[in-house]
Structure 1
Amino acid sequence: MPASLRDRTVLVVGRGSGIARAVTLAAREAGARVVVAGRDREVLAAAYDDPGVTAERVDLTDESSIAALATRLGTVDHVVSTASARARGAVADLDHDTVLRSFDVKVLGPVLLAKHFAPRMPADGSFVLFSGSSARKPTIGMLAVGATNGAVDVVTRGLAVELAPIRVNAVSPGTVDTGAYDALGDRGKGELFAAREASNPAGRIGAPGDVAEAVLFALTSTFLTGVSLGVDGGEPLVR
């Protein structure tokens, strides 16, 4: 039987929208107290009208900020890091600082979260990190994103061994309609989604709730650790 989140404290690092919001609301529905944390505490606080959700500031590229957050919060039961810094582009268009920031936020940031929060967590606590299907399906324009996600998968397995019995898992979404594709414009986004719906074995694009369900599964499944859960509708299976 899965463990309960009732009366447990879950830290969710990320924005107040999209997947992070879906995870926060799902954890609240499961009975958890949730602390949301990101670079803009005021915006996060305004995103939720729920006394069971409190907002904090953290910058995953600044270890002192992570350490300060851990000191302020004390013991938490679970940590979910959804934060990312996108480094899309063909190799000729990538630059050092953009790629480095992608690794800073999505790979090194979670390592430092583990460093500062694991000593304060109970033995049945857990971390959930975020990878992505680009780690398993090479795509032109997604080289740095895929490399970052692949590194998250490695970190997940390494931390699962080092932090045991604290569990460490990752969730690895495919194409999810979170607003991340809005920069393509309505036409570009529509064409991309239509193409992926046509080829994806699941026959649709993912929703934030699909990912949140997987996060809750990872948080509450006490015999699951060191795993990257693909929530992608089978997208990496096809070209």
Structure 2
Amino acid sequence: MSQELRDTTVLVIGRGGGIARATALAARAAGARVVVAGRDQGTLSAAYDDPGITAERVDVTDEGSVEALAERLGEVDHIVSTASARARGLVGDLAQDTVRLSFDVKVIGPMLLAKHFKGRIRDGGSLTVLSGSSARKPVPGMLAVAATNAAADAVVQALAVELAPVRVNAVSPGTIDTGAYDALGEEKKAGLFADRAARNPARRIGTAEDVAGAALFAMTNTFLTGASLPLDGGEPLV
């Protein structure tokens, strides 16, 4: 795997922690030059202490921002977008703007990346986005998240056909301990994780490194395209 990423340029879009950080560090460890990009360039830059990782600004909900990033970077080999916007809540509590932002970030954002990086992704390159297991097993309170993730999976399939031979895939995480559940408080989060770990076939909660490993697999497996890789410990099966 390291040989397949050595001397490539990998663009990772997202925050300076969690899955985005784990993916950036894994790609760097595999020999890639890494560009991390998000809405707060200063925070991203401060999050990494490696001359092989540089930071850029991008807002995937703003087409002008995506276009400007593509023009600044020129050619890249792989793009991984981990960007998302929280849209949890029962249907009666969902605000239209919350749902729209979720789609803007996770569905339309990858479309804009494909539009403006088309022709800039080198031979053998790829685009990988995050969807999520709620697309396969929705639960109350996750309506907008499920709809967004299912749409992201559909976008991946369509782009895999349209951008070929550039490969387009999704990584679809389940319950991952990345800080996304911290708002529950330590006691409730621990209870939730214990319950899900007891019920899923893998018998544990996922890590950011698990997801990063799948993202590297999507980048380096040249016969994988149009797929959504489930990283969920088998949670939708039970």
- TM-score of the pair, normalised by structure 1: 0.98
Give CA-to-partner distance per residue, 1:103-125, whole Å, 9 cap, x none: 00000001000000121112311
**Aligned match of 2:218:** 218
Q: Give the SS at the match of 2:146.
A: helix
**Aligned match of 1:93:** 93
Q: Give the SS at the match of 2:206.
A: coil
Alpha-carbon contact 1:3-1:221 (below 8 Å) kept: no
User: Following the alignment from structure 1 to structure 2, what is the Cα–Cα distance between the partners of residues 140 and 2?
Assistant: 41
**Aligned match of 2:208:** 208
User: Following the alignment from structure 1 to structure 2, what is the Cα–Cα distance between the partners of residues 236 and 67?
Assistant: 37
Letter in 2 for 1:201: P
Task: After TM superposition, list the pairs within 5 Å mapping 1:112-191 onto structure 2.
Answer: 112-191=112-191
Q: Give the SS at the match of 1:77.
A: strand
Name the count of aligned residue pairs.
238
User: Following the alignment from structure 2 to structure 1, what is the Cα–Cα distance between the partners of residues 126 and 20?
Assistant: 17
Q: Give the SS at the match of 2:118.
A: helix
Letter in 1 for 2:55: A
TM-aligned CA distance change 1:3 to 1:170, over 3 Å: farther
**Aligned match of 2:229:** 229
**Aligned match of 1:104:** 104
User: Following the alignment from structure 2 to structure 1, what is the Cα–Cα distance between the partners of residues 205 and 9?
Assistant: 31
Deviation >3 Å, runs of 4+: none
Letter in 1 for 2:177: D
Alpha-carbon contact 1:19-1:209 (below 8 Å) kept: yes
Letter in 1 for 2:186: D
User: Following the alignment from structure 1 to structure 2, what is the Cα–Cα distance between the partners of residues 88 and 62?
Assistant: 23
Letter in 1 for 2:23: V
- Aligned alpha-carbon RMSD (Å): 1.0
User: Following the alignment from structure 2 to structure 1, what is the Cα–Cα distance between the partners of residues 140 and 13?
Assistant: 29
Alpha-carbon contact 1:2-1:222 (below 8 Å) kept: no
Give CA-to-partner distance per residue, 1:97-146, whole Å, 9 cap, x none: 00000000000001000000121112311000100000000100000000
Q: CA deviation at 1:3?
A: 6.6
Q: Give the SS at the match of 1:175.
A: coil
**Aligned match of 2:47:** 47
Q: Percent identity?
A: 71
Q: Give the SS at the match of 1:110.
A: helix
Q: CA deviation at 1:170?
A: 0.3
Q: CA deviation at 1:62?
A: 0.3
- TM-score of the pair, normalised by structure 2: 0.99
Letter in 1 for 2:57: R
Unaligned segments of structure 2, at least 5 residues: none
Unaligned segments of structure 1, at least 5 residues: none
Q: Give the SS at the match of 2:202.
A: coil
Letter in 1 for 2:88: R
Q: CA deviation at 1:72?
A: 0.3
Q: Give the SS at the match of 1:78.
A: strand
